[in-house]
């Protein structure tokens, strides 16, 4: 069926299509079968199941095809996703609230390291404050210290998945398989594996690759 995209939210990666039957169908980016991302007003061809659109492909609009003699026809820069964060702290909250268990796509080095910075900063500050308060309250065996350890444990466990997903998407951005991230969890060699993964996350971003378009922060 053919239709037109009525709405698409880059943050939630969800949208709405109006089909030629006048019905409206929800979709997610997982059903988008083309490079780049969908945009408002784009004409598409899709399958559907109940009220959900699947296997979505953009339709070629000949009226939008233009030629420019000043452009090198052999140059292929690939698709680029422009991403904007409303605040610095959003680098930390976005992977938790929006992409909690998203292992598809890519994140840039800046996105990865800003998330990591806030993750470790919060962990270190909380550990220092809880340790200091626990010492004043009678040492490691005090009730306050025990409660602090539980809180830190919950924080670490709750963020294991987003930490892993951000790492996987950073590896994708460098053109590497996300499975390399598991090196950090292999017993005995996890320290060496962690260093290897760290080096991988420092690699520069690629252009468009098999994991999706490159990302540009604005």
126-173: pLDDT as tens digits: 888 887 776 776 655 667 677 778 888 999 999 999 999 999 999 999
**Contact between residue 174 and residue 206 where contact means Cβ atoms under 8 Å apart:** yes
What is the pTM assigned to this prediction? Answer: 0.62
Q: Is the dihedral of CA 29, 31, 34, 35 positive or negative?
A: positive
pLDDT of residue 83: 79
β-bridge pairing 2-9 and 43-49: antiparallel
**Contact between residue 196 and residue 67 where contact means Cβ atoms under 8 Å apart:** no
Distances, alpha carbon 87 to alpha carbons 42, 91, 123, 180, 214, in Å: 29, 8, 20, 30, 21
Question: What average pLDDT does the segment 6-15 reach?
Answer: 86
- The gap from C-alpha 2 to its chain's centroid, in whole angstroms, comes to 29
- The gap from C-alpha 6 to its chain's centroid, in whole angstroms, comes to 24
Question: What average pLDDT does the segment 26-33 reach?
Answer: 88
- Which range is least confidently modeled, 4-8, 13-17, 21-25, 142-146? 142-146
Q: Which residue has the higher pLDDT, 93 or 77?
A: 93
Domains (ranges, CATH) in the chain? 2-61 (2.40.50.140), 82-217 (no CATH)
pLDDT of residue 71: 37
């Amino acid at each position: 069926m053919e239709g037109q995209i009525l709405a698409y939210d880059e943050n939630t990666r969800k949208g709405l299509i109006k089909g030629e039957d006048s019905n409206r169908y929800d979709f997610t980016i997982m059903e988008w079968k083309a490079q780049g991302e969908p945009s408002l007003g784009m004409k598409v061809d899709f399958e559907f199941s109940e009220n959900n659109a699947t296997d979505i492909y953009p339709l070629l609009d000949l009226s939008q095809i233009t030629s420019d003699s000043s452009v090198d026809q052999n140059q292929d820069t690939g698709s680029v996703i422009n991403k904007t964060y409303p605040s610095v702290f959003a680098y930390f909250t976005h992977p938790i609230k929006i992409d909690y268990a998203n292992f598809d796509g890519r994140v840039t080095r800046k996105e990865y390291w800003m998330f990591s910075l806030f993750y470790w900063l919060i962990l270190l500050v909380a550990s220092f404050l809880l340790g200091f308060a626990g010492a004043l309250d009678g040492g490691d065996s005090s009730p306050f210290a025990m409660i602090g350890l539980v809180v830190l444990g919950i924080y670490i466990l709750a963020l294991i998945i987003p930490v892993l997903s951000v790492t996987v998407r950073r590896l994708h951005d460098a053109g590497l398989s996300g499975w390399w991230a598991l090196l950090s969890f292999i017993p005995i060699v996890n320290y060496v594996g962690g260093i290897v993964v760290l080096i991988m996350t420092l690699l520069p971003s690629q252009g468009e690759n098999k994991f999706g378009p490159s990302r540009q922060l604005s």
